[in-house]
Amino acid sequence: MGPVALLVQKFGGTSVGDPERMRAVAAHVARTVRDGNQVVVVISAMGKETDDLLRIAAEVSETRPGREMDMLVTAGERKAMALLCMAIADTGIEAESFTGSQAGFLTDSTYRNAKIVDVKPSRVVEALAAGRVAVVGGAQGVSPEANVTFLGRGGSDTTAVALAHALGADSCELYTDVTGVFTTDPRIVPNARKMEKISFDELLEMTANGCPKPAMRSVEFARTHGVDLHVRSAFTWETGTIVTKEDDTMEQAIVSAVVHDADEAKVTIGGVADRPGIAALMFRALADSNINVDLIVQNTSDHGVTDISFTVPHSELDAALAICEQHTADIGATRVKGDPAIARVSVVGAGMKSHPGVAATVFETLAANDINIEMIATSAIRVSCVVAEADVQRAVVALHDAFGLADGPVYVD
Amino acid sequence: MGPVALLVQKFGGTSVGDPERMRAVAAHVARTVRDGNQVVVVISAMGKETDDLLRIAAEVSETRPGREMDMLVTAGERKAMALLCMAIADTGIEAESFTGSQAGFLTDSTYRNAKIVDVKPSRVVEALAAGRVAVVGGAQGVSPEANVTFLGRGGSDTTAVALAHALGADSCELYTDVTGVFTTDPRIVPNARKMEKISFDELLEMTANGCPKPAMRSVEFARTHGVDLHVRSAFTWETGTIVTKEDDTMEQAIVSAVVHDADEAKVTIGGVADRPGIAALMFRALADSNINVDLIVQNTSDHGVTDISFTVPHSELDAALAICEQHTADIGATRVKGDPAIARVSVVGAGMKSHPGVAATVFETLAANDINIEMIATSAIRVSCVVAEADVQRAVVALHDAFGLADGPVYVD
């Protein structure tokens, strides 16, 4: 048994989806305590409960004021945290549940998507000092006006990271239904490898590109405050992947992972007049309609006209096309075209910053496999290509193989 | 339009059982506001939600600590109150929900069945002053240790009455699925009459005897603090029955109502030694096993031995019999007998205090209908008879008729 450590353990909805899962999580918490650790649990609503609450709200009301939506939605985590405390009590260990307010989560008053202003977890500290497990409802807090606030979908991850930071916890464990962060989707590439370690920056590029891992906001918070994360399984309980600060002394993998996202559609606006303000006009109109534009690519102007392409979620394609068509005349465009059958594949790696040639390898690999690239976008540590949806799985397999990811990372010299 | 009144309107689980009912209740609240009134709503959990929460707790845990049970169960009212506020907002009227804690319900720390210590509804008062409807979660409060507490089943009625008292409300309306308090069960006696008015004492005798009306504790609270109640329908919205203090100047009906309760079983212990402490021993043992003994009848001793009979809920008959049989030797009893096929019929009326002969009429009426009386118990304003279950509906019809209740009350001279 090692020295006493203070651990924050966060469990998502799937991990506590039914009474059996509740008891399995309680047993794991009890094991952790019996190993000599202090444990603070952050819990999400059970299974699809948050969706159920949103659905009944839509059935009851058209206006759905934010203050009341937050009161409603946070009821899901209250239920889950009370039930988990009961299950922990059955193991002979005392546990106390705390709402966001009781746990000291002070937020602003932005209902539905409140920002944490401060965390003053004195009741959590007292519970730990008394030898108890503290179970905190995720994604909730209290506003300056003493109203209940909701941090938004995925807010439980943020709760866990902020609490780990405020308590100076030794580890922030994010339990989920996968065993860690993989070099690519194991359903597509059977020899995908679970990574021992990954940097915040790399994970951010991955979560932004369809990797179903911790909420971006929580990873950004963890990076800013230097809270190491441990992404691991609530089903097998094996060691997962550590997410930590990229360190100059740490070896940097040239390419860490290949990720893909098939829930995208492409819009191309052709023959656009190439003068200032055109792009601004179009993307302001899309933003005003709450359309989530992701990749944007504009080619160099040719004879005073240019093409602009961008991607949006599948579900927003029709709305995006309608808006673009409304503005066709204003921007002097000749045509608007939508393509739902696309997907994005990206390679991510902190080491590529100092290692030229990754993009070239990506393009060569796709070409060698007869996969046409429709759009390209890059960041310092990522190369993304939009390809036909039918080609994406082959692209993932080819790139994972090309960078030798199954065998372990290739480090920068 | 009359002068501005401050009304507390309490809605039970059936009244807000689904989205359609939520909107119907919101429309009624909006009508009441548009008629020039200030409205505070107290709401129970939707439909069978509290039962659902108790069931999942039983599936998750064997120990179920009280603090966590209260956190769990009060989530039901939170959900309902937020949804009702949204539905009210749809009508163009602002509404704010308040938990028990936010509404100023300070309680003791008796989890599962907390007692109200004080009500300081400053946030409710502020909401009203700002022209809003306040929607308060029923049956909940906060303990001195800042933990969430539950007032117990039926606690929403108590919340409504206590809030009406604390606010000095003009009326406390308890909305339910019946149109008021009837002279007897209209399903048995088609010409049962809805009473315009009834005294607290009469209603207490009725609720204690199977009348499905407000929780006894809330009626006792209302009587103590002089809060008039209006029991009425959340489905037809018609005027219901006023429950008020019995006044010396008020005419007192000799008999107001006939009520019955078929969920009882009888235990008879025969040949019990007639010496001090025998009854105490037996009923302490039953109480220690949480058996709810109701009517107790002991006949005058004959030759040093006596019979003791009592009633218990059907579901507790087997347990009660087992305990009695364990103690047969100690109390020198010769036999223990259980009878599940009994029921109780009672006539209730504040005027019978000063009007002898009601009991005689009851006995004569039952005799004339060939209904055998197995046990008799009386209070100042009630005569109860235990009869065979098969006879109880005939007994109700005969007594309702004998006292002429369909035609209106007979008052004391």
How confident is the model at residue B73, as a pLDDT? 97
* DSSP 8-class letter at A300: P
Among the partner-chain residues A61, A71, A86, the one whose CB lies closest to the CB of B57 is A86
Q: Is there a single domain that holds both residue A15 and residue A163?
A: yes
**pLDDT band at residue A1 using 50, 70 and 90 as cut-offs:** very low
How confident is the model at residue B54, as a pLDDT? 97
How confident is the model at residue B3, as a pLDDT? 60
- How far apart CA A195 and CA A241 sit, in angstroms, is 6
Cβ of residue B307 closer than 8 Å to a chain A Cβ: no
Among candidates B376, B316, B313, B304, which has minimal Cα distance to B346?
B376
Sign of CA dihedral B62, B46, A51, A138: negative
Q: Is there a single domain that holds both residue B126 and residue B275?
A: no
Cβ of residue A79 closer than 8 Å to a chain B Cβ: yes
Residue A185 is assigned to a structural domain of this protein: no
Identify all chain A residues contacting B99, using CB atoms and an 8 Å cutoff: 148
What CATH code is carried by the domain that includes residue A305? 3.30.2130.10
**Segment 31-60 of chain A within 8 Å of chain B by CB:** 53, 56-57, 59-60
Identify all chain B residues contacting A102, using CB atoms and an 8 Å cutoff: 146
Tokens of B137: 């979660």
- How far apart CA B402 and CA B380 sit, in angstroms, is 20
Q: B285 is in which domain, residue-wise?
A: 257-407
Q: A57 to chain B nearest CA, in Å?
A: 6
Q: Is there a single domain that holds both residue A24 and residue A159?
A: yes
* ipTM of the shown complex: 0.85
Give the model confidence (pLDDT) of A257-295 as tens digits: 999 988 889 999 888 877 777 778 888 888 888 888 888
CB A101 within 8 A of CB A139: no
Cβ of residue B87 closer than 8 Å to a chain A Cβ: yes
For residue A351, the SS3 value is helix
pLDDT at A212 over 60: no
Q: What is the mean pLDDT of chain A?
A: 91
**Segment 121-160 of chain B within 8 Å of chain A by CB:** 123, 146, 148
Identify all chain B residues contacting A62, using CB atoms and an 8 Å cutoff: 90
Q: Would the CB atoms of A89 and B61 count as touching at under 8 Å?
A: yes
Share of chain A above pLDDT 70, in %: 95
Residue A37 is assigned to a structural domain of this protein: yes
Residue A91 is assigned to a structural domain of this protein: yes
Q: Would the CB atoms of A75 and B82 count as touching at under 8 Å?
A: yes
**Got the DSSP string for A246-297?**
--TTS--BS--EEEEEEEEEEEEEEEEE-STTHHHHHHHHHHHTT-----EE
Query: What are the strands of the beta sheet with B197-199, ordered from one edge?
Result: B95-98, B133-137, B38-43, B6-11, B171-176, B229-233, B241-244, B197-199
Task: Name the more confident of A14 and B280.
Answer: A14
How confident is the model at residue B137, as a pLDDT? 98
For residue B232, the SS3 value is strand
Residue B62's closest chain A neighbor by CA?
Answer: A90
Q: Is there a single domain that holds both residue A34 and residue A147?
A: yes
Identify all chain B residues contacting A74, using CB atoms and an 8 Å cutoff: 78
pTM of the full predicted structure? Answer: 0.87
Q: Would the CB atoms of B90 and A53 count as touching at under 8 Å?
A: no
Residue B135 is assigned to a structural domain of this protein: yes
**Radius of gyration of chain A from its Cα atoms, rounded to whole angstroms:** 23
**Got the DSSP string for A36-60?**
T-EEEEEEPPSTTHHHHHHHHHHHH
* DSSP 8-class letter at B299: P
**Disruptive mutation site among B85, B143, B149 for chain A (greatest number of A CBs within 10 Å):** B85
Q: Please identify every stretch of chain B with a pLDDT value under 70, giving residue numbers as ranges.
A: 1-3, 207-213, 248-251, 301-302, 412-413
Residue B385 is assigned to a structural domain of this protein: yes
Cβ of residue B75 closer than 8 Å to a chain A Cβ: yes
pLDDT at A51 over 90: yes
Residue B204 is assigned to a structural domain of this protein: no
Residue B70's closest chain A neighbor by CA?
Answer: A82
What CATH code is carried by the domain that includes residue B94? 3.40.1160.10
pLDDT at A208 over 70: no
Q: Is there a single domain that holds both residue B173 and residue B261?
A: no
Cβ of residue A222 closer than 8 Å to a chain B Cβ: no
Q: Is there a single domain that holds both residue B35 and residue B161?
A: yes
* Residue A352 Cα to chain centre, angstroms: 22
Q: Would the CB atoms of B75 and A82 count as touching at under 8 Å?
A: yes
How confident is the model at residue B59, as a pLDDT? 97
Give the model confidence (pLDDT) of B322-352 as tens digits: 999 988 888 878 889 999 999 999 999 988 8
Q: A266 to chain B nearest CA, in Å?
A: 37
Q: Would the CB atoms of A61 and B96 count as touching at under 8 Å?
A: no
Q: Is there a single domain that holds both residue A165 and residue A274?
A: no
How confident is the model at residue B285, as a pLDDT? 87
Q: Is there a single domain that holds both residue A30 and residue A167?
A: yes
Of B177, B205, B222, the one marking the end of a domain is B177
The type of residue at B231 is V
Of A161, A177, A193, the one marking the end of a domain is A177
Q: Would the CB atoms of A82 and B72 count as touching at under 8 Å?
A: yes
CB A229 within 8 A of CB A172: yes
Q: Would the CB atoms of A67 and B96 count as touching at under 8 Å?
A: yes
Of A177, A204, A234, the one marking the end of a domain is A177
Q: Would the CB atoms of B75 and A72 count as touching at under 8 Å?
A: no
The pLDDT of A383-401, averaged and rounded, is 94
Q: Is there a single domain that holds both residue A139 and residue A284?
A: no
Q: Is there a single domain that holds both residue B161 and residue B36?
A: yes
Q: What are phi and psi of A34, to 5 degrees?
A: -70, -20
Tokens of B195: 């009473």
Residue A225 is assigned to a structural domain of this protein: no
Identify all chain A residues contacting B61, using CB atoms and an 8 Å cutoff: 83, 86-87, 89-90
Q: Is there a single domain that holds both residue B59 and residue B172?
A: yes
Residue A336 is assigned to a structural domain of this protein: yes
Among the partner-chain residues B56, B62, B95, the one whose CB lies closest to the CB of A83 is B56
E strand or H helix that includes residue B136: strand B133-137
For residue B153, the SS3 value is coil
Q: Is there a single domain that holds both residue B48 and residue B153?
A: yes
Cβ of residue A216 closer than 8 Å to a chain B Cβ: no
Among candidates A193, A200, A206, which has minimal Cα distance to A243?
A200
For chain B, the domain total comes to: 2
